[in-house]
Copies of this chain bind each other. A is one copy, B any other.
Amino acid sequence: MTPEEFRSAGHDLIDWIADYRRELESRPVRAQVAPGDVARAFPAEPPDDVATIQELLADLDRVVVPGMTLVQHPMHFGWFPSNASLASVLGDLASSGLGGLGISWESCPALTEVEEVVCDWLRRLTGLSDGWSGTIHDTASTACLVALLAGRERATDHGQADGGLARAERPPAVYCTTQAHSSVKKAALMAGYGNDHLRIVAHDPETFAMEPAALAEAMARDRQAGLLPAAVVASVGTTATTAVDPLPAIVEAAAKERVWVHVDAAMAGTAMLLPEFRHLWEGVEDADSLSWNPHKWMGTILDTSLFYVRDVQHLVRVMSTNPSYLRSGVDGEVTQYRDWGIPLGRRFRALKLWFHLRLDGIEAIKDRVRRDLENARWFENQVRDAPEWEVVAPVVLQTVCVRHRPAGVDGDALDAHTLAWVERLNSSGRALLTPSLLADGWMVRVSVGVETTEHAHVEQLWSLMQAAATDRSLDPDSMVHIDS
């Protein structure tokens, strides 16, 4: 494709995207397809003819769009906000258009240095000290793996340089609560710790936050039993309820045991743009690493996961490579991001953040985050005031965890009721919610924060939930009735 063909096709695609985003709200939130529907629309053999952009856009409309669950839809309250701001889409397009290759500073100096700049901007915007150095990973899962590798190697005095884990004198161990993200267990297993050495620390039954005394006891007991406490993952905003593990006590306990503290603020990091919420991660300055995802609530498009460390040398010592074909005259003077993470090659991801911050403006982003917090608070109050409804966890940020409990319904019957009404709502396509297990019972997470979700959408959701839970019609016409 020549630049002129690209120009023409690109204009068509830009228009298609603008139309798609404009009309998104008229579509069902959850994809209305069955397994295999999308794949069956494609030929098994790769076509050997050439298609026009118009043909591909028609295919997108016919096959791909019906197979999209619309997380950009204002009635999406499932999983977590996964905003893909159009400003950041442009930044991503600029990155692709430039076609840079990040394998060393020399292979694309701008890619490295703009990443340094925007990571530092985000550091300042979230009130972190200049003792942190940042990079962009694809996801918080990868960030967690990198943190557990760094913790493993620091604890074992860099055993990877010799006999590796199999020659470790004492098995290193990782600590977190059951409320930690699923990626923590996955990372611990991938890093070779073993499931037996992933130690589950008790959490407060009301707040779902880690009990720091239990952490200290677990580490001391393990050390006595011949294990080597290596890393603790503290959540600032857990997946299920956005619970906040108490960092000051955790970093204090970890310091005594010389254990790596990784702070997972994947979802909640966005709230740290607001000074009034930064008390939630008080103590973070004494952690070793920290990750949060602008690609969630803040809305810089996937994959944009920020990862900060106090001492970069811990990453470099674990992950540096320096093959001859990548050496250059400036080695030692410049940042080589390949030594800070798993992949060698990287895209110019910093442009997504740069364009997002500059085109939307940080004040507008903060205003939107405050709007979402207010909407969540309003919704919480409705639920608290409604008979037969309950809020089942503290509302820390924009996630409200609720249950509809009709009189006399409990245990398995309550679980069945919960899953049934959520599925009824989700399958209607009118809104999307995510049920989740909490303390052995199913509850429903209402995660507010899509860019286009205004107060009226939250009001509408509340009407829909009440209708779904009480078997009333979800039909738009009846909704008017219910709203009134």
Which of A9, A69, A99, A181 has the most chain B CB within a 10 Å cutoff?
A99
The chain B residue with its CB closest to the CB of A72 is B99
Offer 24 A-B interface pairs, CB within 8 angstroms, sorted by A: A6-B21, A7-B14, A10-B17, A11-B11, A13-B94, A20-B97, A37-B109, A38-B114, A56-B358, A69-B101, A71-B99, A71-B100, A71-B101, A71-B107, A82-B345, A83-B99, A88-B96, A160-B195, A165-B192, A166-B170, A166-B197, A182-B323, A303-B345, A329-B423
Cα separation A53 to B66 with both chains bound (whole Å): 32
Of A28-36, A278-286, A369-377, A459-467, the one touching chain B: A28-36
Contact of A185 among B33, B55, B321 (CB under 8 A): B321
By the criterion CB–CB under 8 Å, are B94 and A194 in contact? no
Please provide the chain A residues from 185 to 216 with a CB less than 8 Å away from any CB of chain B in the complex: 185-186, 189-197
A82 to chain B, nearest CB (A): 4
By the criterion CB–CB under 8 Å, are A359 and B1 in contact? yes
Q: Which A-B residue pairs are the 10 nearest by beta carbons? A: A164-B194, A67-B110, A84-B99, A192-B192, A17-B97, A166-B171, A10-B14, A165-B165, A46-B121, A50-B361
A382: CB under 8 A from chain B?
no
Cα separation A63 to B117 with both chains bound (whole Å): 13
A347: CB under 8 A from chain B?
yes
Residues of B within 8 A of A79 (CB): 101, 103, 107, 325-326
Cα separation A284 to B396 with both chains bound (whole Å): 53
Copies of this polypeptide in the complex: 2
A479 to chain B, nearest CB (A): 25
Residues of B within 8 A of A442 (CB): 324
Residues of B within 8 A of A165 (CB): 164-166, 168, 192, 194
A480: CB under 8 A from chain B?
no
Residues of B within 8 A of A183 (CB): 321, 344
Chain A, residues 10-30, CB within 8 Å of chain B (1/0): the string is 110111111111100000001
Please provide the chain A residues from 42 to 85 with a CB less than 8 Å away from any CB of chain B in the complex: 42, 44-53, 55-56, 60, 63-69, 71-72, 78-79, 82-85
By the criterion CB–CB under 8 Å, are A33 and B343 in contact? no
